């Protein structure tokens, strides 16, 4: 189920298997986010027709706010918005400050 994501992380992002597996695991509880991410991996464009919106944000909106993120980062942030909305909104409000 996570093979497409893991393969992308291994082959295109040069992550090791442990890191790739951990990142992919964040999508296990969120089939809708995972499915949309897999479409992004396949086509490298964000879904335009009825994309997922979580707390008022789509993956494309997140990518526009944080251009250093690829699709995996944007969709992973949707997981953050779903699981910890206050934390996600704080990160957005702070401009995605990176340490």
Burial of 48 (0-12, 13-18, 19+ CB in 10 A): exposed
In tens, the pLDDT along 63-90 reads 999 999 999 999 999 999 999 999 999 9
**CA 34 and chain centroid, separation:** 8
**Residue-level pLDDT at 1:** 67
What is the full per-residue pLDDT of the chain (99 aa) written as tens digits? 689 999 999 999 999 999 999 999 999 999 999 999 999 999 999 999 999 999 999 999 999 999 999 999 999 999 999 999 999 999 999 999 876
From CA 99, how far away is CA 82, in angstroms rounded?
A: 23
pTM: 0.93
50, HSE (Cβ side, Cα atoms, 13 Å): 1
Q: What are phi and psi of 29, to 5 degrees?
A: -85, 0
């Amino acid at each position: 189920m996570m093979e497409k994501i893991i393969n992308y992380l291994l082959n295109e992002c040069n992550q090791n298997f442990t890191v790739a597996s951990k990142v992919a695991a964040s999508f296990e509880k969120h089939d809708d986010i995972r499915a949309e991410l897999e479409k992004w991996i396949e086509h490298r464009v964000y879904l335009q027709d009825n994309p997922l919106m979580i707390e008022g944000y789509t993956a494309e909106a997140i990518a526009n706010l944080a251009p250093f993120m690829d699709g995996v980062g944007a969709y992973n942030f949707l997981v953050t918005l779903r699981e910890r909305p206050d934390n996600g909104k704080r990160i957005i409000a702070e401009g995605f400050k990176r340490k």
